[in-house]
Amino acid sequence: MITASQVNELRQITGVGMMECKKALTEAAGDMAKAADILRKSGAAKAAKRADKEAKEGTIGVYIHSNNKIATMVELNCETDFVARNDEFIALAKELAMQVAAMNPKYVRPEEVPAEELAKEQEIYRAQLKEEGKPAEIVEKILAGKVDKYYSQVCLLKQPSIKDDKTTAEKLINGLVAKIGEKVEIGRVFRIEI
């Protein structure tokens, strides 16, 4: 039997609604860690379902570094003005602006990396792997991992969070989508440095 205190504890951990927490706990037979995983997976599924919606509202997260030599702005979009005024939404926009200041990504998402640049990186990785004497049959698997690593260096959505290196901006956004039930996406990003 799932107790109200278990539901409340899971709700505190994940920020998801009570009914969804109770359903996840029931599915996980009371195992808190499994229930949290179930909610994370459903959050990613909800984000995928909302992908075709249009995000016309939003906010701009702004960050100015303490030395006044770096300033960033991140446009974070959502579907309604109600969500755009949500404290968690605004906090995420500010966190993403800090991320841009700290990590200086060249692109927002992997699809924005020019094909020529990606091909050049892959060529370099292939040469390195050949030099190391890696067998041809595993080169492509290793190459895929190296490309993912490259994306985590140059793409904002794939970069490790500055607050928690076990998560990414993409996971933070998907987590918010799971909580609010609306599409959330990064629009434009600006970074100025003296």
pLDDT recorded at residue 134:
81
pLDDT recorded at residue 24:
85
pLDDT recorded at residue 38:
81
pLDDT recorded at residue 64:
95
pLDDT recorded at residue 186:
93
CATH of 4-50, one of 3.40.50.2300, 3.40.1190.20, 1.10.8.10, 1.10.10.10: 1.10.8.10
Can you say whether the dihedral through the CA atoms of 45, 50, 51, 57 is positive or negative?
negative
**Closest C-alpha among 15, 176, 37, 149 to residue 25:** 37
Spelled out in words, what is the top-level CATH class assigned to the domain 114-153?
mainly alpha
Fold exhibited by the domain 54-108+155-193: Tetrahydropterin Synthase; Chain A (3.30.479)
pLDDT recorded at residue 150:
92
What does each of the 194 residues of the chain score in pLDDT, given as a tens digit? 788 888 878 776 666 667 778 888 888 888 888 887 887 776 654 555 555 667 778 999 999 999 999 999 999 999 888 888 999 999 999 999 999 999 999 999 999 999 999 999 988 888 888 888 888 778 888 888 889 999 999 999 999 999 988 889 999 998 888 888 888 899 999 999 99
Q: CA distances (Å), 60 to each of 21, 63, 119, 189, 193, in order?
A: 31, 10, 34, 9, 18
pLDDT recorded at residue 15:
60
Distance CA 168, CA 166 (A): 7
pLDDT recorded at residue 130:
81
Domain range summary for the chain, segments of one domain joined by +: 4-50, 54-108+155-193, 114-153
pLDDT recorded at residue 102:
94
pLDDT recorded at residue 137:
78
Residues 6+ apart with CB under 8 A from 158: 109, 110, 148, 151, 152, 168, 169, 170
The single-letter DSSP state of residue 66 is T
The token duo for 14 is: 């994940």
The residue type of 139 is: V
User: pTM score, two decimals?
Assistant: 0.68
